[in-house]
Amino acid sequence: MKDLNTRTKLAAVLGGTVLTVALATTGGTAWGAPGASAPATSAAAVTKLSQADAANRLRNAGVTWSSSGNCTDRNNAHCTSFEQINLATVQGAITLKHASGCAVAITGGTETGHASGTYSHWNGYKLDFNPATCLSNYITGTFTYIGPRAGDGAPQYRAASGNIYAREGNHWDVIFYSCGC
């Protein structure tokens, strides 16, 4: 890639498991946390994982997941899918498990049926977690309360990494801007 400021680079899919996308900017705001300003020469790289790769990483770290439909089909809202999830999102879930010392159980991934937007489940930035007492106490006791979310009033907490944890009715809805490593 000779001129990152004017080109977009897509890496080859490696064995069907990883796709790396580099997006370049010519100034203004780079693709990152909302409102994050970036120098004119910055670029953000997003690594996408396959279902199998993400599941293996999570399983090896002791992060569990469940699906109301007992499936992983990204196009079925009753499934819990990790297809096309961002590597940083998977790493963020693993960081959350290790930092909290709690059981971490995912209840929603990249499957259809969630709200749309740039930093959405579908685009690989969000996961839903079971609000077990240990995890909920860790989130509310460790991260900074930043007020209710516009639209639904869900209480929100921001980690030092910038990741945002919103307590929806029956789960934690988390945006992973970074791995939180």
Using one digit for the tens of pLDDT, what is the confidence trace for 49-88? 999 999 999 999 999 999 999 999 999 999 999 999 999 9
What's the pLDDT at 44?
Answer: 66
Using one digit for the tens of pLDDT, what is the confidence trace for 85-97? 999 999 999 999 9
Residues 6+ positions from 52 with CB-CB distance below 8 Å: 17
| CA proximity to 75, closest of 113, 124, 102 | 113
Q: How far apart are the first and last CA of the chain?
A: 28
Query: Domain ranges in the chain?
Result: 1-49, 50-175
